[in-house]
Structure 1
Amino acid sequence: MAGGKETPRQKMIGMMYLVLTALLALQVSNTVLEKFIFINRSLEHTVSETNTGNSNLVSRIQKQVDESGNRKDDAAVLQTAREVRERTQQIIAELNQIKADLVQQTGGFGEDGVTPVNINDEEVLANLMINKKKGEELKAQLNDYAAFLQQKSGVKTDPIAYDGAEHPIFANDPNQKSKNFAELNFGQTPLVAGLATITQYETEVLMREQAALDELARKVGAEDVKFDRVVPMVLPNARVVAAGTKYTADMFIAASSSSITPDMYVNGKKLPVGPDGFGKVEFPASASSYDADGLAKQTYKAEIRVTLPGGRDTTYTNTIEYFVAKPVIQVQSASVQALYLQCGNELNVQVPALGTAYQPNFTADGASVLQGNKPGIVTLVPNAKNVKLNVSSGGTFIGSENFGVRLVPKPDIIPTDGGRELDQKQGIKAAQLGRIVMRADADASFKEFLPKDARFRVTGYTVYLARGNRPVANQKVNGPEVNLRQWAAQARPGDRIVIEVTEVKRMNFRDEVLDVPMGTKTFTLPINE
């Protein structure tokens, strides 16, 4: 049903009216009937308020038309509003006259001047509304009025009066659906309930009129956009300036209308519009090529679509030009131009031009990628001779950086006595045979760059006690350390301790143990007198 919005009070009264109407079928006492007096008075109060409000609405339309210069289209709207108000007053007057006739024919009002004498009289109401066909006449008047409103305002307006078979509530009720409008509303109905029913139809009339007048009011000044929100705007040439340089900007007034809700688009994509009327333009800036200065000229189409107060749609467009600066990728690392194979090469990759908008994501060809715990920190673990690091931010590709990959430098294998290095030229005495520790020292530069990947350990070698061209004794060792004290008694001057290192391991940054391809390294310690 098209009509004005019901207030909570109207909804409550309407609900009570329906409940009490249902109780009539139970042949209830005068106590219940007296409640209809309250319902009718409340409905009449609502009618009075709404009637005054609708008159004020026509006055506001008159004021709008006067302020707009009494233009032809606006004057036509005002004339239509006056016709609606006049027709409504005729309907309300007719309904009030029916109520007055019913009260007069049933004995008038009591001593208080507002309560009918015979509140439970049913004959007079039924005779007038059913037998004399006043009810069917009223139905036609009400529904003709609804059609009149729709024709004048363009607002879809449902009928006001229904027969039982058409009524939204009673259409499926076997006891009611066969009744016509008059029988449904006024048959076997006490006077006071009939009065409340007629007043209820007055509220239906006024609510529909209110909806029609609201629509007519919106049509006044249809070609006008009234700018009632004015704010100062500043467009700086740049938001970030270096110390000592000039800050330059254009300042102007921007105005908008609170009565219009615009739809805003960038390249056809709808934008969110805030309560202040500002659209939020946000998209990733990108370009496929740049000029010699590292800039790429780009444009986008801005559209603002508004429905003017009269219902006409209007679109304002502009092409906005901007420049995309080629982002410079800065890579900080212990060894920027080369990475080490199968090592955790930590890089700090930044794009200063993006500032706080930098939201990096990395992929790589020829390496696995481990994201760091801070923006821009990434660890590359190469598995090929060359690595290509791809940098994106917020889903937009920024660029790539290429790196060569170096093999991990082989460690120096050094025989020691657990502390100092053993002298392979000077040798040792037989009585000094004891603890030997084979140490694997990482390349100093590699260890400085990647200390977590520079952990080497000798894990396999064979040690011989050699005399002439043949071994006298030998021992296989799994680990860096061996004790040769048991050879001291059989060792002679001129013998040799020969060490053949066959296995070296490296622990990487993830504490994984990897083989180091060393081949076989041989060390000889002569035994002296």
Structure 2
Amino acid sequence: MAGGRETPRQKMIGMMYLVLTAMLALNVSSAILLKFQFIDDSLTTVNTKTNKDNSGVLSGIKATVDESGNRPQDVRVVENAEAVRNQTNQMVAYIRGLREALVKEAGGQDPETGGYKNPENNERVNMLMIGGPGKGGKAYELEKKLNSYAAFLRQYNPNAPAKLALSGEEDVRVQKNKTQRKKDFAEINFEETPIVAALATLAQMESEVLKYEAETLSQLAQKVGADIIKFENIFAMASAESKTVAAGTKYKAEMFLAASSDAVTPTMTVDGRPISVKNGKGQIEFTATAGNYDAEGNAKKTWKGQVRFRQANGRDTTFTVTQEYVVAKPVMQIQSASINSLYFNCGNELNIQVPALGATYDPSFSASGATVVKGAKKGFLTIIPTSRQVKLNVSSGGNPIGSQDFTVKLVPRPRVVALANGRPVDVVKGMPSPGPRTLTVQAIPDESFKNQLPKDARYRVTQYTVYLVRGARPVGQVQGTGPNVSLGNLAAQARPGDRIAIDVREIRRMNYRDQTEVVPSDNSSITFQLN
């Protein structure tokens, strides 16, 4: 018969009851019987004080309602509180009537010692409270009254227990005791119990009744004036049409008082989604999404909020707020050596930033006609085109930002040159006979392409043939597979008037991934005269 949050006084009563229960299990001596009487006296004293305090709470409710002008809602609170007091008085009176019957069975109190004349007579307790084998004693009537009282309180105090009188199966204190859990309420509390212990048990039951009455009266007291919202926190606020204005234009705003109440715990939603509430203020935060932008790049939108709270009288109140806002189309800044074109099958590096998003910028990229590799830094990416047109899509935090179309260029062919002694061969003037002993053949990339994509502009001539030509026919040849090729055999045969012809068969390009690919041949060649 206990639970909920208890005051120190209530905790003391509970401790006394535990001591009482433990002492009932002992062989009762006269000293122990005297201790029971001490516990009973203490509980009775506390109950008298609690009863008086509860009467004071009722008087306080009446006085507050009278000062507030006896509003109908508050008058109903007084009527409910009076009903609780009346029911409690009847319950207490019934319990005290049982006490008087037990005292009479004990032979009354000895005027000299102050103790009961027959405190240990448990048979009289059994007959009065349990009623012998037929179980028609007063404890069964007490059980019904206690549980009816609990049901009565719950209509005003949901925290009140469903039952105040528990059987062994219902009482958590004895559920694990195989013997005690089989007993009913009367047997647990009064079977084989000395009269003085039974008196202490009844005092404890009375304390439980008074405790839950105190809780119920306290909750009723809080409902006085509950439909009047009292604002403890008042503060000034301002709402501007826009926080950003251009020079020469007007700044417009409204300034007003706002307030919140510690007694009101509102719930708030925005577009149906719940939001957190701090100090009575809803914290609105959401990611603005793209819309139907006008010619100036703005999209007008609205959000709808609801503030709902329940007053102490149980009535729900809801306020609705509709607020307009403007979503500005974010501007993408794309940094690249060539903003409008990309090179086919090359690692074109881009840096895409959206300054309007600031620190919230969290980009992701996708493309049609290309493969995208996200870079190590925010906004950096490498795009490898696989078709002649590429569409790059940019999002931030899952929200679309915009897209950009690119044309795709083919990689320009490199220029093949021949070097002798580290210097380019002059194909117009030629060289003195018998010509160079070693020749270097190189593929020189297009200057613009090299400047834009240096990692993709690495070439190597991998297959070529060097001919010694006399008249209209070759008289010797050497195969080359690398930059340098030895012409010793050809130089030994060379005569003035002969020509050196270089027929390039294969060039390879190394891309940004250090992978090589063959550059399609255009049957290019280099020819110079031996003078």
Distance 2:520 2:39 in 1: 101
Distance 2:45 2:376 in 1: 70
> Residues 418 and 456 of structure 1: is their aligned pair in 2 closer, same or farther, counting only changes over 3 Å?
farther
8 Å contact 1:433–1:487 — kept in the other structure?
no
Q: Which residue does 1:6 correspond to in 2?
A: 6
Matched, 1:461 2:461: no
8 Å contact 2:13–2:207 — kept in the other structure?
no
Matched, 1:202 2:245: no
8 Å contact 1:125–1:189 — kept in the other structure?
yes
Matched, 1:387 2:387: no
Distance 1:39 1:424 in 2: 125
Q: Which runs of structure 2 are paired with 1:177-196 in the superposition (5 Å)?
A: 179-191=183-195, 193-196=197-200
Q: Which amino acid aligns with 2:403?
A: S
Q: Which runs of structure 2 are paired with 1:363-378 in the superposition (5 Å)?
A: 363-378=366-381
Distance 1:494 1:109 in 2: 154
Encode CA deviations 1:84-120: one digit per residue, 9 max, x unaligned: 124324433543564566467266489996x878765
Matched, 1:263 2:256: no
Q: Which sections of structure 2, spanning at least 5 residues, go unmatched?
A: none
| Deviation of 1:77 (Å) | 0.8
> Residues 482 and 126 of structure 1: is their aligned pair in 2 closer, same or farther, counting only changes over 3 Å?
same
Bigger Cα displacement from structure 2, 441-450 vs 129-138: 129-138
Q: Which residue does 1:254 correspond to in 2?
A: 258
Structure 2 residue matching 1:69: 3-state secondary structure: coil
Q: Which residue does 1:511 correspond to in 2?
A: 514
| Deviation of 1:69 (Å) | 2.7
Q: Which residue does 2:143 correspond to in 1?
A: 139
> Residues 448 and 8 of structure 1: is their aligned pair in 2 closer, same or farther, counting only changes over 3 Å?
farther
Q: Which residue does 1:336 correspond to in 2?
A: 339
1:213 paired residue among 204, 212, 217: 217
Q: Which residue does 1:126 correspond to in 2?
A: 126
Q: Which residue does 1:324 correspond to in 2?
A: 327
Q: Which amino acid aligns with 1:161?
A: A
8 Å contact 1:20–1:32 — kept in the other structure?
no
Q: Which residue does 1:497 correspond to in 2?
A: 500
| Deviation of 1:259 (Å) | 1.4
8 Å contact 1:218–1:310 — kept in the other structure?
no
Q: Which amino acid aligns with 1:223?
A: D
2:242 paired residue among 214, 225, 238: 238
| Deviation of 1:273 (Å) | 2.2
Q: Which sections of structure 1, spanning at least 5 residues, go unmatched?
A: none
8 Å contact 1:499–1:524 — kept in the other structure?
yes
TM-score, structure 1 as length reference: 0.86
Distance 2:117 2:522 in 1: 124
Matched, 1:84 2:88: no
Q: Which runs of structure 2 are paired with 1:299-448 in the superposition (5 Å)?
A: 299-417=302-420, 419-430=422-433, 432-448=435-451
| Deviation of 1:137 (Å) | 3.4
Distance 2:232 2:329 in 1: 42
Encode CA deviations 1:299-322: one digit per residue, 9 max, x unaligned: 222211111121111211132222
8 Å contact 1:150–1:157 — kept in the other structure?
yes
Bigger Cα displacement from structure 2, 249-258 vs 284-293: 284-293
Matched, 1:298 2:301: yes
| Deviation of 1:157 (Å) | 4.7
TM-score, structure 2 as length reference: 0.85
Distance 2:113 2:490 in 1: 135
1:482 paired residue among 480, 485, 488: 485
Structure 2 residue matching 1:428: 3-state secondary structure: coil
Q: Which amino acid aligns with 1:182?
A: A
Aligned CA RMSD, in angstroms, stands at: 3.6
> Residues 442 and 77 of structure 1: is their aligned pair in 2 closer, same or farther, counting only changes over 3 Å?
same
Q: Which residue does 2:65 correspond to in 1?
A: 65
8 Å contact 1:20–1:36 — kept in the other structure?
yes
> Residues 228 and 67 of structure 1: is their aligned pair in 2 closer, same or farther, counting only changes over 3 Å?
farther
Encode CA deviations 1:447-488: one digit per residue, 9 max, x unaligned: 222222222222222222233333333222222221223433
8 Å contact 2:434–2:495 — kept in the other structure?
no
| Deviation of 1:342 (Å) | 1.5
Q: Which runs of structure 2 are paired with 1:34-183 in the superposition (5 Å)?
A: 47=47, 51=51, 54-55=54-55, 57-58=57-58, 61-62=61-62, 64-96=64-96, 98-99=98-99, 102=102, 105=106, 108=109, 121-131=121-131, 133-151=137-155, 157-164=161-168, 175-176=179-180, 179-183=183-187
| Deviation of 1:7 (Å) | 5.3
Structure 2 residue matching 1:320: 3-state secondary structure: strand
| Deviation of 1:388 (Å) | 0.7
Structure 2 residue matching 1:225: 3-state secondary structure: coil
> Residues 302 and 178 of structure 1: is their aligned pair in 2 closer, same or farther, counting only changes over 3 Å?
closer
Distance 1:11 1:502 in 2: 101
Bigger Cα displacement from structure 2, 160-169 vs 324-333: 160-169
> Residues 310 and 521 of structure 1: is their aligned pair in 2 closer, same or farther, counting only changes over 3 Å?
same
Encode CA deviations 1:229-283: one digit per residue, 9 max, x unaligned: 2222222333345688776543222112221221212222222223x12222222
Encode CA deviations 1:346-382: one digit per residue, 9 max, x unaligned: 2222233333332222111111112223332222111
8 Å contact 1:222–1:311 — kept in the other structure?
no
Identity %: 49
8 Å contact 1:300–1:321 — kept in the other structure?
yes
> Residues 405 and 34 of structure 1: is their aligned pair in 2 closer, same or farther, counting only changes over 3 Å?
farther
Structure 2 residue matching 1:301: 3-state secondary structure: strand
Distance 1:495 1:161 in 2: 126
Distance 1:111 1:369 in 2: 104
| Deviation of 1:58 (Å) | 3.6
Q: Which amino acid aligns with 2:349?
A: E
Distance 1:12 1:475 in 2: 113
8 Å contact 1:504–1:516 — kept in the other structure?
yes
Bigger Cα displacement from structure 2, 13-22 vs 341-350: 13-22
8 Å contact 2:433–2:495 — kept in the other structure?
yes
Encode CA deviations 1:283-333: one digit per residue, 9 max, x unaligned: 232344222332222222221111112111121113222222223223222
8 Å contact 1:229–1:256 — kept in the other structure?
yes
Structure 2 residue matching 1:373: 3-state secondary structure: coil
Q: Which amino acid aligns with 2:268?
A: M
